[in-house]
Chains A and B, each alone.
Chain A
Amino acid sequence: MDSEYFFELLCGGLVKGSIYALIALGYTMVYGIIQLINFAHGEIYMIGAFVAFIVSGVLTLTGYGGPTVLLLAAVIAIIYAAAYGYTLEKIAYRPLRAAPRLSPLISAIGASIFLTNYVQLAQTPDFLPFPELITDFDFMEPFSRYVSSVDLVILVVTTLTMIALTVLIKYTRVGKAMRATQQDAVMARLVGINVDRVISATFIIGSALAAIAGVLIASRTGQINSAIGFMAGIKAFTAAVLGGIGNIPGAVLGGLVLGIAETLGAGYISSAYEDVFAFGLLVLILVLRPAGLLGKAVKQKV
């Protein structure tokens, strides 16, 4: 077997997987807090990519350099996506908090369809070319076969984002409140945590991560349209379930495993079946380990 080819695929899978992981984090965090599959999460990612597209289009005209434009576009995309995520929860999920579990799920699917069509009508259903904002780094020349400069940026940004998220969840006040709410919502209220605010914060953080993913993937594929949220959403959801839904390290692991499996399958067997590998892997894991790779570790004593 050609080990160079393998390594090339592995790197590609890692890049893809880290993007899945970023989106999967949003699914898993929301699920961990309110046990809801936020089906509209993929659309938040798409909106992030669209905002970045529009902002970078405008900024490029003003003559700023690629990296500056990318950074500004990303920041604005994050703010927009976070606002959408926050509003989505307020409008589509909060009124249904006490309803049977199926109701918010249906609302989530409705929100997903709504957002796709909204962007399609407000913008366009066609594919739009995303500007090349990351120019090739000279020092990446020798490795360009495995990792392009864009890929390097993606890996660095996702790694830094995940470290930041870990610190946030482990040490900050809002992070502790999120963990407490996830582990025992009644007790969280009894120690004085405003659970509504924690839920809002979770949507804001998850949406911000999705926006980062949106900007990164758009920079890599070079094109976006209003429907990209669907497949990315399903893949990231798969990653979250793969790792154990509700489990944050699980979402990262699930994303990476999914990305690598998909890329290897496509590279060695056939790229036509890429999605089949992804979902086949999901079925396999669910049969062998129904709780996902990292499942629930510590059980509560009763």
Chain B
Amino acid sequence: MLEVRGIQTFYGNIQALKSVSLSIREGEIVTLIGANGAGKSTTLMSICGVTPPRHGEILFRGQPIHRLGAEKIVTLGICQVPEGRHIFPQMSVLENLEMGAYLRQDKAAIKADVDEVFERFPILGKRRQQAGGTLSGGEQQMLAISRALLARPTLLLLDEPSLGLAPLIIKQIFEIIRKINAESNTTVFLVEQNANQALKIAHRGYVMENGAITLEDRADNLLSNEEVKKAYLGI
């Protein structure tokens, strides 16, 4: 479904991605783990066209997308829940959700999807008129994921959805991700520091160090890999 081939991404003169290649197949949950500053977020932003790669190529369903620009890439069904959630702070919860459906025209279906979100997360329904910036971290993460789902993505990119959340909420979030993948057949690319949990729900995983992929395997193999255990699982 997605094919990343040797991309190199720069911030000015700083090279954040040296040569990243990876592939994601339809229906999978693939996780990308790595230390702070490894280049995980940059990889997602490169796929989404926010920081386009200087070299290399990205193919989505066989078509090159790395020159398209962010707003075009979204139309293909590639959506990201960025690190830090990026809720529109002065917009209400409802407006935030509606922004997720910005490119859709089917008003009735959007309304139905919003209602579904409020069913899944009653707390968001209760706060629908409240400014997004005033929600708690966990509520914001639920809102951020729901907003991305309102675009009806076929490929959902999640950047550290468990960041800064309490263990109970983290469990909930991972369960939601698993459900999204299983029930609506959404392919998931999950960036995580929480390697243990991520590898438990993922089919495959990549390990990233200093802007390059150093390891790739099935998730269960990575979970029992000695190096991974030492570096990322804290065992």
A interface, CB within 8 angstroms of B: 173, 176-177, 179-180, 183-184, 186-195, 297-302
Residues of B close to A302: CB separation below 8 A? 84
B123-134: CB near A (< 8 Å → 1, else 0) gives: 000000001011
Complex alpha-carbon distance, A177 and B90, angstroms: 13
Task: Tell me the smallest distance from the CB of A98 to a CB of chain B, in Å.
Answer: 9
Residues of A close to B102: CB separation below 8 A? 173, 176-177, 180, 191-193
**B75 at interface, CB cutoff 8 A:** yes
Contact assessment for A191 and B90 in the assembled complex, using a CB-CB cutoff below 8 Å: no
Task: Tell me the smallest distance from the CB of B24 to a CB of chain A, in Å.
Answer: 18
Residues of B close to A186: CB separation below 8 A? 50, 82, 86
B interface, CB within 8 angstroms of A: 48-50, 70-71, 74-75, 79-80, 82, 84, 86-91, 95, 98-100, 102-103, 131, 133-135, 137, 140, 147, 151
Complex alpha-carbon distance, A195 and B79, angstroms: 17
Task: Tell me the smallest distance from the CB of A187 to a CB of chain B, in Å.
Answer: 4
Contact of A176 among B70, B87, B95, B131 (CB under 8 A): B95
Complex alpha-carbon distance, A301 and B91, angstroms: 13
Contact assessment for A183 and B91 in the assembled complex, using a CB-CB cutoff below 8 Å: yes
Residues of A close to B48: CB separation below 8 A? 189-190
Complex alpha-carbon distance, A298 and B75, angstroms: 31
Task: Tell me the smallest distance from the CB of B123 to a CB of chain A, in Å.
Answer: 16
Residues of B close to A176: CB separation below 8 A? 95, 98-99, 102
Describe B's contact surface by its main secondary structure. mixed
15 extra A-B contacts, CB within 8 A, seeds A180-B91, A191-B103, A301-B87: A176-B98, A179-B90, A183-B89, A184-B87, A186-B86, A187-B86, A189-B49, A191-B74, A194-B71, A298-B90, A298-B133, A299-B133, A301-B133, A301-B137, A301-B140
Task: Tell me the smallest distance from the CB of B10 to a CB of chain A, in Å.
Answer: 13
Residues of B close to A190: CB separation below 8 A? 48, 50, 70, 74, 79-80, 82, 86
Residues of B close to A184: CB separation below 8 A? 86-89
Residues of A close to B140: CB separation below 8 A? 301
Task: Tell me the smallest distance from the CB of A174 to a CB of chain B, in Å.
Answer: 11
Interface centre among B86, B87, B99, B131 (most CB of A within 10 A): B99
Contact assessment for B88 and A187 in the assembled complex, using a CB-CB cutoff below 8 Å: yes
Q: Look across to chain B and name the residue whose beta carbon is closest to the beta carbon of A195.
A: B71
Task: Tell me the smallest distance from the CB of A111 to a CB of chain B, in Å.
Answer: 27
Contact assessment for B89 and A192 in the assembled complex, using a CB-CB cutoff below 8 Å: no
Complex alpha-carbon distance, A298 and B131, angstroms: 8
Residues of B close to A191: CB separation below 8 A? 74, 99-100, 102-103, 147, 151
28 cross-chain CB contacts under 8 A: A176-B95, A177-B102, A180-B88, A180-B91, A180-B102, A183-B88, A184-B87, A184-B88, A186-B50, A187-B86, A187-B88, A189-B71, A190-B70, A190-B79, A190-B82, A191-B74, A191-B100, A191-B147, A191-B151, A192-B70, A192-B74, A193-B102, A195-B71, A297-B90, A298-B89, A299-B89, A300-B87, A301-B89
Q: Look across to chain A and name the residue whose beta carbon is closest to the beta carbon of B86.
A: A187
Task: Tell me the smallest distance from the CB of A292 to a CB of chain B, in Å.
Answer: 16
Q: Look across to chain B and name the residue whose beta carbon is closest to the beta carbon of A297.
A: B90
For the complex of A and B, list the 9 residue pairs with the smallest distance between their C-beta atoms, beginning with the closest. A192-B74, A187-B86, A189-B70, A300-B89, A192-B103, A298-B133, A183-B88, A194-B71, A191-B102
Task: Tell me the smallest distance from the CB of B120 to a CB of chain A, in Å.
Answer: 20
Residues of A close to B89: CB separation below 8 A? 183-184, 298-301
Task: Tell me the smallest distance from the CB of A144 to a CB of chain B, in Å.
Answer: 43
Contact of A193 with B71 at beta-carbon distance under 8 Å, contacts A179-B91, A184-B88 already known: yes
Complex alpha-carbon distance, A187 and B48, angstroms: 11
Residues of B close to A188: CB separation below 8 A? 99
Q: Look across to chain B and name the residue whose beta carbon is closest to the beta carbon of A299.
A: B133
Residues of B close to A180: CB separation below 8 A? 88, 91, 99, 102
Interface centre among B49, B84, B90, B91 (most CB of A within 10 A): B90
